[in-house]
Amino acid sequence: MSDIAKNPDRSFVRTENIPEAPPPISTAGVAGWMRANLFSSPANTALTLLTFYLLYLVVPPLFEWAFIDSLLEGESNKDCRGIEGACWVLIPKRFGQYIYGFYPEPERWRVNLTFILFCLNLLPVLSDRVPGRTFAALFLVFGFPIVAFVLLHGAFGLESVPTHKWGGLTLTLVFASVAILFSLPIGVLLALGRRSEMPVIRTICIAFIELWRSVPLITVLFMASFMLPLFTPEGVNANELLRALIGFIMFASAYMAEVVRGGLQALPKGQTEAAMALGLNYWKSMQLIILPQALKIVIPGIVNTFIALFKDTALVSIIGLFDLLLVARSAVTDPKWLGLEHESYIFAALIYFIFCFSMSRYSLWLERKLDTGHRN
């Protein structure tokens, strides 16, 4: 290359094409990544070093406590004497209760079967490699709850297991999944209603959303479990779990509605107009054009709400439902396991973490998959 080409201070015409070249090593590969992300500036380098130091302070002791100096097998807290690390002994002994609550042991296969069926039903909804998404999604909302009820509660010759025996992770999952499954469609309808041009529908939806949103969830649960029975005629006393569940769904729907409305508002008006101009009616344009885009925009918000819901199920322990948290708490009130609070709560926290973190990863994956290169 001539000097003129490098510094064209006079008139200049390129005669040869510059060939395409790979990026320099420093911006590619592990070294490049580290330089760009960890050591890009003095401040960044200082932060990186500080972080590594803190990790060094925290992680090895934690690891030792949990895995090296710990005890896994034992009969009671007496075995924990002399153990410096975690004393996990109650976890394997009480494992069944963490997972199933007081669900009778010989019937626990029904819980497992329900869980497996649920996963199978969920698969086509979550992944597009498995066909039949629409049907699976509809079945999940309208069919599966019946299947789950028959299996869990018992009917058609299956021994009846009343809901007050359900507990642990089972109860937490029942609560969370039902709330998640119903709050999304109800939330979507409420959000559409709130934007409706019909004043009656709009007012009803606004009132519903604002009412449920302005009451603490604990109040909702208390109302559902203690107040509602006072107002309903005797005999039609709905099951306690069901009452709490309905309150929970209403609460969740109100939140979901506002998240979805955010997505609807982010869409340019032109999308609705183009759909209408093509002759699509209201419901079709919502189904085919507006909702797919609006929901995609608010995936982070929706999953955020899902995760919050999942964790909020822990509040049902307040009205005496025996969820995972209450199992973890009551396990250590047993004199046999006294003093093992840390282990019990950490184990429960780990279970919560696994489910919430999976949801978060799934949402990231979904966002990336649905990205069609469109920027508004």
Residues that bind other proteins (CB under 8 A): 268, 270-271, 273-281, 284, 288-289, 292-293, 296, 370, 372-375
168 vs 301 by CB, closer to other proteins: 301
Q: How far is the CB of 291 from other proteins (least distance, A)?
A: 10
Task: Pick between residue 245 and residue 275 the one whose CB is nearest to other proteins.
Answer: 275
How far apart are CB 203 and other proteins at their closest, in Å?
21
Nearer to other proteins, 91 or 297 (CB): 297
In the complex with other proteins, which residue's Cβ is closer, 93 or 296? 296
Q: What is the rounded CA–CA span in Å between residue 347 and residue 351?
A: 7
Q: Report in angstroms how near the CB of residue 197 gets to other proteins at its nearest.
A: 11
Classify residue 168 by burial, with Cβ atoms within 10 Å: 0-12, 13-18, 19+: buried
Name the minimum Å distance from CB 334 to other proteins.
Answer: 54
Min dist CB 278 to other proteins, Å, is 4
Q: How far is the CB of 183 from other proteins (least distance, A)?
A: 23
CA 43 to chain centre: 35
- The 3-state secondary structure of the chain reads CCHHHHCCCCCCCCCCCCCCCCCCHHHCHHHHHHHHHCCCCHHHHHHHHHHHHHHHHHHHHHHHHHHHCCECCCCCHHHHCCCCCCECCHHHHHHHHHHHECCCHHHHHHHHHHHHHHHHHHHHHHCCCCCCHHHHHHHHHHCHHHHHHHHHHCCCCCCCCCHHHECHHHHHHHHHHHHHHHHHHHHHHHHHHHCCCCHHHHHHHHHHHHHHHCCCHHHHHHHHHHHHHHHCCCCCCCCHHHHHHHHHHHHHHHHHHHHHHHHHHHCCHHHHHHHHHCCCCHHHHHHHHHHHHHHHHCHHHHHHHHHHHHHHHHHHHHHCCCEHHHHHHHHCCCHHHCCCHHHHHHHHHHHHHHHHHHHHHHHHHHHHHHCCCCCC
Nearer to other proteins, 235 or 270 (CB): 270
Cβ distance to other proteins smaller for residue 190 or 275: 275
Query: Nearer to other proteins by C-beta: 174 or 264?
Result: 264
User: In whole angstroms, how close is the CB of 269 to other proteins at the nearest point?
Assistant: 9
The residue among 274 and 338 lying less far from other proteins, judged by its C-beta, is 274
Q: Which is nearer to other proteins, 131 or 270 (CB)?
A: 270
- Least distance CB 148 / other proteins (angstroms): 32
Instruction: Work out how close the CB of 285 gets to other proteins at its nearest, in angstroms, rounded to a whole number.
Output: 9
